[in-house]
Structure 1
Amino acid sequence: MIKLIGALLILAAGGLIGFYQAGRYAARPHELRQLCNALQRLETEIGYGHTPLPTALRRTAEAAIPPVSELFGAAADGLAREDGPTFRECWEAAVRDRWERTAMGPAEQAVLLRLGTALGISDREDQIKHLKLALVQLKAEEETARDEQARYEKMWKSLGLLSAALVVILMI
C-alpha cells in the first residue's frame, strides 16, 4: 500500500515537473508578444504623444499585463524617486530584479538592457529608432520561441511522466 502511494506521488511529481517546463515553453512566445505590444505603446507615447518618459512608462505599465507590466512599472517607480537615478539605472534594476518572474530568456534580457542604454538620453526620433530596433529583435526571438515551443513542449510533458514511470519501475 505504501509503495503504491509512493509510486503515485512520484508519478504526480514527475508529471508536474514536465508540465511546468512545458508551460514555460508555452508562456515565452506569449510574453514576448506582450512585451512587443508594450514597446509599441511606449513608442507611440514618446513619438506621437510627446509624453515624458516616466509618464510614458507608467501608462505602458497600466496597459500591459504581468509580468511585462511589472518591468515598466518598476522603471517608472525608480524614476519617480527623489535620489535622482538615471533612466538606465532604473531600467536595468527593473529588468534584472523582475526577470526571474518571466519565461523569457537571456537573449530577450540583453535586448532590453541595450534598449535601456539608449532611451532617455537622446531626442525623440533617436529613441523611436532604438525602440523599433528592439521590436525587430524581439520579434525574431518570438519566432524562435514559437519554434522551440512546437519542438519541446510536448517532449517535456512526456519526459516528465516517462521519467517518473522509470523511477517507479526501478523501485519495484
Structure 2
Amino acid sequence: MLRLMGAALVAGGGAMAGFLAVSRLRERVRTISSFLGALELMESEIRFRLTPIPELMEFLAQKTGEPAASFFRTCRREWEKREEESFSRIWQKGLETLLPAAPEREVLDQLGEILGRYDVEGQRQAIGYVRRRLEGLLRQAEEERKTRGRAYFASGFAVGLCLAVILL
C-alpha cells in the first residue's frame, strides 16, 4: 500500500513538473501581451498629450495589466529616488528584474534609451518598432506554448509514470 502511494506521488510529481513548464510558457505570453498593451497607451500619451516621463510611468502603472504595471511602478519609484542615475539605466534595471535573459528584454531595453530624449516623432517611431518586434515575439511565444506545452505536460507525466513503475 505504501509503495502504491509513493508511486502515485512520483507520477503526480512528474505531471506537476510538466504543468510548471507549461505555466512558464503561458506567463511569457501574458507578459508580452501586457507590454504590448502598455506600449499602445504609451504611444497615445506621448503623441497626443506630450506626457512627461514620470507622469507617463505613473499613468501606465495604473492603466496596464500585470506584470507591466509593476514594471512601470518600479520605474516611477526609482525615478523619484534617483540621484545621478539616468532614466535609461532605471528602465534597464527594471527590465533585468522582471525579464531576466528573455528576448523581450532586449527589445524593450532599446526603448529605454529613446524615451524622453528625442522628439515626439522619434519616440513614436521607436515605440512602433518595439511593438512590431514584440508582436513577432508574441506570435512565436504563442506557437511555442501550443506545440511545446502539450509535449512538456505529456513528457512530465510519462517520466513520473515510468519512475512510479520502476519503484513498484
The more displaced of 2-11 and 23-32 is 23-32
Deviation at 1:10, TM superposition (A): 0.9
Unaligned runs of 5+ in 1: none
SS in 2 for 1:80: helix
Equivalent residue runs for 1:28-107 within 5 Å: 28-99=28-99, 106-107=102-103
Deviation at 1:65, TM superposition (A): 1.8
Question: Aligned pair 1:147/2:139, yes or no?
Answer: no
SS in 2 for 1:61: helix
Deviation at 1:141, TM superposition (A): 0.5
| Bigger RCO (CA 8 Å, 6+ sep) | 2
Alignment RMSD, CA only? Answer: 1.4
CA distances 1:107-129 after superposition (whole Å, capped 9, x unpaired): 11100111111212212211111
Change (3 A) 1:45 1:84: farther
Question: Aligned pair 1:169/2:165, yes or no?
Answer: yes
| Alignment check: 8 A CA contact 2:34 2:66 kept | no
Match of 1:131 among 124, 127, 130: 127
Identity %: 22
The more displaced of 49-58 and 77-86 is 77-86
Change (3 A) 1:92 1:82: closer
Please name the residue that 2:14 is paired with: 14
In 2: Cα distance, 1:19 partner to 1:28 partner: 14
What's the TM-score once normalised by structure 1's chain length? 0.91
SS in 2 for 1:118: coil
Question: Aligned pair 1:24/2:20, yes or no?
Answer: no
What's the TM-score once normalised by structure 2's chain length? 0.93
What is the number of equivalent residue pairs in this alignment? 168
Please name the residue that 2:113 is paired with: 117
| Alignment check: 8 A CA contact 1:46 1:128 kept | yes
In 1: Cα distance, 2:46 partner to 2:84 partner: 21
After the TM superposition, which segments of 4 or more aligned residues of structure 1 sit over 4 Å from their partners?
A: none
Please name the residue that 2:4 is paired with: 4
